[in-house]
Amino acid sequence: MKRKFDHSAPSESALTGPRYWRSLDELTATPGFQQHLAREFPEGASTLDGVDRRSFMKLMAASFALGGLGLAGCRRPEKNILPFGKSVEGVIPGLPQYFATAMPLRKSAIPLLAETHQGRPTKLEGNPTYAPHGGASSLLAQASVLDLYDPERATVNTSKGDVLSAAAANDLLAGVGKTYAAVQGAGLAFLAEQSSSPTRARLVAQLRAKFPKAVWSEYEPVSDEPPTTAARAVFGAVVKPIYRFAKAERIVSLDADFLSAESASLYYAREFAKGRRVTKKEDPMNRLYVAESALTLTGSMADHRLRLASSHILSFAAALAGKITGDAVYARLAEGLDLKPEWIAECAADLAAHKGSSLVVAGAHQPAAVHAIAYAINASLGNIGRTVDFVEVAADESVSISDLAKAITANSVKTLVVLGGNPAYNAPAELNWPALQKSVGEVIRFGYHSDETSALAGTHLAAAHYLESWGDARTADGVVVPVQPMILPLFGGITEIETLARILGLPKTDGYSLVFDTVTALGGGDSAKTFRRFLHDGLLANSAYPIVSVNLSGRGLAQVLGSVAPAVGALSQANLEVRFVADHTMDDGRFANNGWLQECPDPITKISWDNAILVSPRLGKELGIEPKGSLIQVARKEEADFTQGAENAHVFTLTVGGRTVRGPVHIQPGLSNYTVVVALGYGRTKSGHVGTGAGFSAYGLRTAQAPAFVTGATLVTTGTRMKLANTQEHWSMEGRDLIREANYSEYKENPDYVREMGIESHAPSNLGKVGEAMTPAQRATEIPRGGSLYETPKFDGVHQWGMSIDLNTCIGCNACVVACQAENNIPIVGKDQVMRGREMHWIRLDRYYSDGKADGRAMADLFGGEPSGNSILPEDPQISLQPIACAQCELAPCEIVCPVNATVHDDEGLNTMAYNRCIGTRYCANNCPYKVRRFNFFDYNLRPLDSLYLGQLAPKGMPELVKMVKNPEVTVRMRGVMEKCTYCVQRIQNGKIQHKVKTAQAGRPSDVVVPDGVIKTACQQVCPVESIVFGNILDPKSEVSVAKAREQDYALLGYLNIRPRTTYLGKLRNPNSKMPDYAALPLSRIEYNNKNHSGDHSSSHGEKPEKPAKQSGGHSSVLPGNRSGGLS
């Protein structure tokens, strides 16, 4: 299936592109297209579908008519097949092509393979040639393809409101170049985003040469890489660290969210998982200490988590360093740090015991001093060269936006060229950028959207999407990767490098030749060959940043430490710390108009379409917004008031340094008590229908001095409420056996602890004696009867599909959610519908907190006595994450109840779903214990989301542009049908067919079994930590069979005897028994025991930590083979 194409001859498709896309340019001019922008959709403007319409997309509404007949009334609706006039090289209608490209973001890029259907990129995958990512990709990369087809992207160049032709735009740029060449660029200023593109670097260098007096400044609202200043100070070299988590057995994170917020997170997460994964009890397992103020994904994986204000991290780091190095230089900074000394002592001891195999990581947003200390600790632990390498990077010679601002105020800027970014929205508050920008005579803005900044700019140049562009970039570790166009610019946009080249007045200004020159220069050798290879592999060999050996200069360190003061001011309700974080989905706001990302819930808060002011439960109580429980708390109290299922948040104003923003408050367990966390990237005012007005902008509080956190803030209620679209109403597992956890120590003694949990552990096996004796493969085909009344028909397929999800490595990054959305044409439904609980995601991540307090004594609340734990909100919970999609149950409860056979099993164990047969009784969804079935309550694909309730009166049809992102291999579902995950059945079918075709043509027709790993589900393919494994369980050597054979394998709700094909691998925690916050059992496990066994029993857990397994109900008498729910 996966084939990497050499890009067809650049001269042809790079410069002219496939002929038939011209039609799109014409389309943009048609009134029809203008209507799109006015959210009116003309009926199937067929100018677009170059190839036959069916391969274009499968819009199910087209089958609206009765039982497979054409439109009612007319017997034979006439449709046309439109083949190309001229054959297009390499394009086979019906077969996707794969091209290597990359998604640049700030100082790094993610190498990708783009899947294109007749020239339409529809899905992006990680490029497996780039080993560090191993074919994985990220949430943002998955969603970025949607931006390409954003109907509200900038489609024309404008100058003072009127349209500017491409030619005119070029003249304009050339003109700028000519004018300023004369004066050496005096009065010319550039404000650009950070970039890793070698070509841009080259052009900027030329720019400096040609316009020595011009100002080149770069600005990024959020930093995802450690400041080089720290390294320069302590090592005297311009280097940045690359961490080798796989080699680290003990990891300390100093407010660092290295699993999701750093430029190399994809690589880090993957490496971290390697050290985390435990497949047999001999395997080692890394231990993660985290000290952080917000609750990040990294924090949720922590074995020991210290809730500490970001401003106190410096002192903490100093204290830790002091303990480890015994150096007195840190003492001054560590003063007044208020926490259990054992915490630091034991943590330090643990690190010291792992010299060379430990690692201390500081968050990119922390000041240089913290990084310096971290480097020092790593140095003294002998980690440098082992668990952390330092690579040489180019020095950053750009000036800061603040300096640019000074220049502007000094009136020394006549022409300002804003390349990308969105300063009017996200520049530091004290600069008052909009006014500044207006004060500049000529502002040329080059941007993808016509946004806040464009509104204030005289000229706007429409940028091309990276999938339309020729370009290059570097990965976090410096490997040069190509950015290839998959499609001719839909709206004739140009790229950043082209813009610069035109200002420079270079002879060749087209992206292709610019990149060609750069790369061939870098790569050397026969330029044509080098470049072909570069495009084919999707990377340039041996182009990574060189690893340099560094040695710590004590003097430099002392200087850095001396330059900072201990900042351990006591925080309180009156003196809050505000922590600004890049939003998990919006990043710094650049993805605000991306519906997939807006609807994708935050992995921790589970809020979509909004950001919120996150406060700790304690602060919440002090602010008087503790949600009221019910008289008798039969389940844990929710962390927010839910009125009719939607979170009803209190709106507060957050004030710091005289600046104020207004936003809803959400109580977030696990925060440092007096740190409030606000996510950036929301509150866009000019973004488009999706992004505008979602959430509030926190940039209003942010200054250049304190971009990441600031103290001295206060929260004041406005007395008003607002509804938030929170996709998970209840946060507690209620002591149920959903996520089965154990400590590493327990696991080593008792690897199959998962079988001693759950109702099935009390009962005789569902499989019966016979079934227990069978091999997994036999179980999958025979379907042992067990105690059932019925004999199940055999599953006689040559494959039996199954999936295994390792809860121990899942970091909850949500990449699978959006990957699934992109692959399966899953619609977004909008905030209003999400609030009603109608989100359509086929795979979701359940996030649970546990504090060991859930108990069955609900009545205690009523009849006095000590109140039950149910009425308490946890301040310092453990987090458990669980991805849930349709588990393809062998004895599927949903199938039994469907009256029309719309969902039945196939012989390969798939729980299929025939949309065209479904009449929408929703009975299946009721009977699904996992609640993974999704119902199309409205025509989400056909009607604008803001007029769903208008019924037939609402405008009908999807913008052609949005249709283009749909996967032609998957039906687009209409109103009134149920949908759900089918293990990407389209990939399975195409995989099988491709294999059969191959073998038949190779004369081995009887070889019909697809080799393991050829077929990957979308969620599996994207997963950075490889926790999702899918394959054929008939093959005992397949990855999935191996995973399922592990002791920690269990079926969720296995006692129901529904025999899910997706099973989970139990979660492990690796706490240090010497630490003050050590718990002998995972807290969720304690809750499980409290709920399921007598009180005295549960209390005994604390006392006998050494053999906790036996405590969980003494079910030593379970059948040896008793797999929960049987299938493994």
Partner 1 sequence: MSKIFPKSANSLPLQIIIYLVVLIGIATAGVTYYMTPKYTRIGYAPVQPVPFSHEKHVSELGMDCRFCHSNVEKSGHSNVPTSQTCMNCHNQIKTSSPLLAPVRESYASGDSVPWVWIHKTPDYAYFNHAAHVNRGVSCVECHGKINEMEVVAHNQSLSMGFCLECHRNPETRVRDPKDVYDLNSQTIAAKAGVEAGVKFVHDWKIKPPQSCSGCHR
Partner 2 sequence: MPPSSYGLIATFETAPQIYQAAQKVRDAGYKNWDCITPFPVHGLDGAMGLGRSQVPRLSLVGGIIGFITGMTMIYWTGAVDYELIVGGKPYFSPMFAFPISYELTILFTAFATIGGMFFLNGLPMHYHPVLKYEHIKRGMDDTFFIVIEARDPRFNLANTKALLEQAGGKAITELEA
Partner 3 sequence: MGAHHESSSTAPAILAEVNPTALPRAILVENNRSYSWITEKICGIIEGKTPTWWWVCFALACFVASFTVAGISYLVATGVGVWGHANPVNWAWDIVNFVFWIGIGHAGTLISAILCLLRQKWRTSINRAAEAMTIFAVVCAGIFPVFHVGRVWYAFYLFPIPNSNAIWQNFRSPLEWDVFAVSTYGTVSVLFWYVGLLPDLAILRDRFEAAGQRARSFIYGFFAMGWRGSNRHWSNYEMAYLVLAGISTPLVLSVHTIVSFDFAVSLLPGWHTTIFPPYFVAGAIFSGFGMVLTLMLPLRAVYGLQDLITQYHIDCMCKITLATGTIVGYAYGMEFFIAWYGANPNEGFAFVNRAFGHYAWAYWIMISCNVITPQFFWFKSVRHNTSLVWILSIFVNVGMWFERFVIIVTSLARDFLPSSWGYYSPSIVEIFTFFGTFGVFSVLFLLFIRFLPIMPMAELKAVTPQADVHGGEKH
Residues lying near partner 1 in the complex (CB under 8 A) are found at 19-20, 50, 52, 54-55, 58-60, 62-63, 66-70, 75-76, 78-87, 92-95, 797-798, 903-908, 910, 912-917, 969-971, 982, 985-986, 988-990, 993, 996-997, 1000-1001, 1005-1006, 1008
Nearer to partner 2, 396 or 906 (CB): 906
CA separation for the pair 803, 496 (Å, rounded): 43
Contact 1102, 1080 (CB under 8 A): yes
User: Taking a C-beta distance cutoff of 8 angstroms, is the pair 338, 320 a contact?
Assistant: no
Q: Which is nearer to partner 2, 452 or 890 (CB)?
A: 890
- Per rule CB under 8 A, is residue 1093 in the interface with partner 3? no
Residue 914 engages partner 2 in binding (rule: CB under 8 A): no
State how far the Cα of 1081 lies from the Cα of 759, in Å rounded to an integer. 19
The DSSP annotation for 124-149 comes to EEE-TTSGGGTT---HHHHHHHHHHT
Q: Which does 449 bind (CB under 5 to 8 A by kind): partner 3, partner 2, partner 1, none?
A: none
Q: In angstroms, give the least distance from the CB of 5 to partner 1.
A: 14
Select 20 or 211, whichever has its Cβ closest to partner 1.
20
Tokens at residue 694, please?
């979602």
CA dihedral of residues 43, 48, 49, 50 (deg, nearest 10) = 150
200, 905, 995, 1061: which one binds partner 2 (CB under 8 A): 905
Stretch that binds partner 3, among 45-53, 317-325, 767-775, 845-853 (CB under 8 A): 845-853
Whole-number minimum distance, CB 54 to partner 1, in Å?
6
**Chain centroid offset of residue 839 CA:** 18
Q: Which residue lies nearer to partner 1 by CB, 800 or 870?
A: 800
Taking alpha carbons only, the member of 34, 144, 29 closest to residue 959 is 34
Residue 930 binds to partner 3 (criterion: CB under 8 A): yes
Residues 840, 932: Cα–Cα separation, whole Å? 9
Q: How many CB atoms lie within 10 A of CB 864?
A: 7
List of residues 6+ apart from 205 with CB closer than 8 A: none
Binding mask 1053-1092 for partner 2 (x = CB under 8 A): ------x---------------------------------
Amino acid of residue 246:
A
Stretch that binds partner 3, among 130-138, 370-378, 472-480, 630-638 (CB under 8 A): 630-638
Q: Which does 244 bind (CB under 5 to 8 A by kind): partner 3, partner 1, partner 2, none?
A: none
Partner touching 793 among partner 3, partner 1, partner 2, none, CB below 5 to 8 Å by kind: partner 2
Which residue in 40, 517, 729, 906 binds partner 2 (CB under 8 A)?
A: 906
Residue 845, C-beta contacts closer than 8 angstroms, at least 6 positions apart: 603, 810, 812, 814, 816, 817, 881, 882, 883, 884
Among partner 3, partner 1, partner 2, none, what does residue 58 contact (CB within 5–8 Å per kind)? Answer: partner 1
Give the number of other Cβ atoms within 10 Å of residue 337's Cβ: 17
Per-residue tokens: 250: 């003990």
Interaction partner, residue 732 (partner 1, partner 2, partner 3, none; CB < 5-8 Å by kind) = partner 3
Dihedral angle sign, alpha carbons of residues 491, 492, 497, 499: negative
Rounded CA separation 570/673 (Å): 11
Within 13 A of 544's CA, how many CA atoms are on the CB side? 14
Measured distance CA(716)–CA(640) in Å, rounded: 18
Q: Is 788 or 989 the residue whose CB approaches partner 1 more closely?
A: 989
890 binds, among partner 3, partner 2, partner 1, none (CB under 5 to 8 A by kind): partner 2
Q: Are 356 and 240 in contact (CB under 8 A)?
A: no
Taking residue 896's Cβ as centre, other Cβ atoms within 10 Å add up to: 11
Interaction partner, residue 789 (partner 1, partner 2, partner 3, none; CB < 5-8 Å by kind):
partner 2
Each residue 880-899 as x (binds partner 2 by CB under 8 A) or -, in order, gives: ----------xxxxxxxxx-
Which C-beta is closer to partner 3: that of 1 or that of 632? 632
1091 counts as binding partner 3 under rule CB under 8 A: yes
Q: Which of residues 507-566 bind partner 2 (CB under 8 A)?
A: none
Among 901, 947, 1094, 1099, binds partner 2 (CB under 8 A): 901
What x/- string results for residues 849 through 888 when contact with partner 3 is judged by CB under 8 A? ---------x-----------------------x-x----
521, 635, 716, 1008: which one binds partner 3 (CB under 8 A): 635
Residue 858: partners with Cβ closer than 8 Å, 6 or more residues away = 632, 633, 634, 868, 870
Q: What is the H or E stretch that residue 532 is in?
A: helix 527-537
Tokens of 145: 């393809």
Select the binding partner of residue 986 from partner 2, partner 1, partner 3, none (C-beta < 5 to 8 A, by kind).
partner 1
Q: How far apart are the first and last CA of the chain?
A: 28
Residue 1014 CA: distances (Å) to CA of 1, 837, 1009, 1011, 1019? 7, 36, 11, 6, 14
| Residue recorded with tokens 């600790």 | 377
Q: Considering only residues 776-835, where is the footprint of partner 3 by CB under 8 A?
A: 833
* From partner 3, partner 1, partner 2, none, interface partner of 730 (C-beta below 5 to 8 A by class): partner 3
Q: Which does 926 bind (CB under 5 to 8 A by kind): partner 3, partner 1, partner 2, none?
A: partner 3
| Binders in 934-953 for partner 3, by CB under 8 A | 934-939, 948-952
Q: Which C-beta is closer to partner 2: that of 813 or that of 910?
A: 910
Which residues make up the interface to partner 2 (CB under 8 A)?
Answer: 783, 789-793, 795, 890-898, 901, 904-907, 1059
